[in-house]
Amino acid sequence: MNAPALLKYLFGCCLLFSISCKKDSGPDKEEEKPVKEDILYAVRGNQPGIFDKDGRFVLLRGVNYNVLGDYWQANPEIPATAPYDADQFRIMASYGFNCVRLLFSWSLLEPQPGQYNQDYIGKINQAILDAQQHGIYIMLDLHQDAYGKYIATPKDVACELPGKGWDGAPQWATLTDDASTCRESGDRESAPAVYHAWQNLWDNKNGIQDNLINAWAALISKVGHHKNVLGYDLINEPSLGYSSLKDQQNKLSTFYGQLIRKIRETEKQNGIAERIVFFEPAVTFAGQQIPAVVGSNFTNDNNIVFAPHNYFEVITTLLTVEQGYTLYSTLAKAYQAYCLIGEWGVYDRPEEGVAKLKRFAQQEDQYLMGSTIWQWSQAPGDPHSISWDGKTYEASSLHMVEVSSNGMYTGVRNTVFLKVLGRARPLAVHGKSINFTSDPDSGIMKLSANADQPGITEVWIPDFFGTPKISGTNSTLTKLETVEGGYKASLEVKDKYTIEIGY
């Protein structure tokens, strides 16, 4: 599908949703916001966002962390993930990151039907606790790519485009109808076995979709009570099967609705305050790169966030970086929901890719979007990096921190990218009509907002440029806390105010 066709299709979906579907009217008045515990919550409506208990808009920026994922391994000598390391959360926080999209795998969570791996749940629980020590919120992400690690072309099968295994479903829930594992194009989802597996999941064959929903409930009941649990990303980059596109979209909508209801039921039963639900578009249909979105009436739940992935000009050239943000902003408005980009990234060499990274940064600031970049660390044995036969891989892999071929962290950091990602930004903003800009080259940040009554706005400031000078109108610095990697500033604000960070 070419760029104009893609835009026409997706914007057409927005128009269809806004005209033809029953709208969920999320609250857009201050008095309609629910009273919440000391956790973050989402609001839908004309002024959507993520807010804290004081009603302040919270801007979440962070990374994906995949060390608890269960990946296919092409070469047993080359690890597919780096080891879990609690100290990585400290390093993340030193760049101002306050959110981690923590990947987990269904295959490890439920290795046999109805049997949940308590050791694995314990590892997830420990990661949440470790992140909490550094002020980091955890978005739990049920991750998958190309359905799962058990769909890979065997070494004795000859085909032009053998398929790698990836990550996701357990073997017992991987129902491929004996379809070919050979890819029909360069895309990993194009193997018939992949889209047959998706079709069987959406058809709930052998009750496997019910199992998936119940697995989410089992995990939430054990870990959902931690205050730094931000919420739940229902399923990473879902694909659609091979029946009609309308049928598949309906089944995805039904799945999302059923899963959200199960999550709310589980929270209530376990005395857990409602967390944010993050939902994504589908990325393929019948193995082809045809994105699909669900209708705006798939749920009446107000505590939801639209969380698409933006790889324009990186993995796909269909749109520019800027067009991608315009597209997702428009789609989010169709849902009357806030938009947080769950994945994005630039994978050129740092010195070559930093200009594009800055364009992403400017756009997410302009749209006040949260984001989690893909990703913190990637081992050379990750399916993204290694060849199907396991013979070709890099000696080390550098995303934000370097991982060697033996799966160990080397201590090398991508300081070029981290300086952009760690730029100054508001953390919690009191008031409305928020606008801000942050220049990663000069360190200058400018923020403006309107406050009906006095309150506190908090700002992250890196130490890249030295000791900051903080000024503004109707804003008074009340606290400047020195933390690893920078500063956290608290300012008392009122009326129409501005805050400027300089040096």
Q: Which domains does the chain show, CATH number per domain? A: 3-35+58-422 (3.20.20.80), 437-502 (no CATH)
CA distance 447 to 93: 22
- Render pLDDT for 95-149 as a digit per residue (tens, 0 to 9): 999 999 999 999 999 999 999 999 999 999 999 999 999 999 999 999 999 999 9
pLDDT average, residue stretch 74-81: 97
Look at residue 216 in the predicted model and tell me its pLDDT: 99
Q: Which residues contact 201 (CB under 8 A, 6 or more apart)?
A: 147, 169, 173, 175, 208, 209, 212, 241
pLDDT of 300 over the 80 cut: yes
Whether 30 shows a pLDDT value over 50: the answer reads: no
Q: How far apart are CA 309 and CA 279, in angstroms?
A: 11
Note the pLDDT of residue 144.
98
The pLDDT value recorded for residue 10 is 53
Please determine, for residue 22, whether its predicted confidence score (pLDDT) is greater than 80.
no
- pLDDT number for residue 36: 56
Is it the case that residue 188 has pLDDT exceeding 80? yes
Rounded average pLDDT over 475-495:
98
For residue 15, pLDDT beyond 70: no
CB 142 within 8 A of CB 236: yes
249: part of which helix (H) or strand (E)? helix 245-269
Cβ neighbors of 143 (< 8 A, separation 6 or more) are 66, 69, 103, 104, 105, 167, 168, 236
What is the mean pLDDT of the segment spanning 355-374?
A: 98
Please say if the pLDDT value at position 25 is more than 90: no
Taking the CB of residue 155, how many other CB atoms lie within 10 A of it? 10
Band (pLDDT 50/70/90 cuts) for residue 37 is: confident
Chain centroid offset of residue 310 CA:
10
CA distance 4 to 501: 40
Residue 29 has pLDDT above 50, yes or no: no
Cα 243 from Cα 196, distance rounded (Å): 10
Which pLDDT does position 8 carry in this prediction?
Answer: 47
User: What percentage of the chain exceeds 70 in pLDDT?
Assistant: 93
Q: State the Cα–Cα distance between residues 417 and 403, nearest whole angstrom.
A: 16
Q: How confident is the model at residue 24 (pLDDT cuts 50, 70, 90)?
A: very low
Whether residue 13 is predicted with pLDDT greater than 60 in this model: the reply is no
Q: Distance (Å, rounded) from C-alpha 58 to C-alpha 134?
A: 17
pLDDT at 412 over 70: yes
Q: What is the mean pLDDT of the chain?
A: 93
- Which pLDDT band, with edges at 50, 70 and 90, does 32 fall under? very low
* Residues 6+ away with beta carbon under 8 Å from 345: 311, 314, 373, 374, 375, 399
**CB neighbour class for 22 (10 Å; exposed up to 12, middle 13-18, buried from 19):** exposed
- Is the pLDDT assigned to residue 35 strictly greater than 70? no
b/e code 233-250 from CB counts within 10 Å (16+ = b): bbbbbbbbbeeeeeebbe
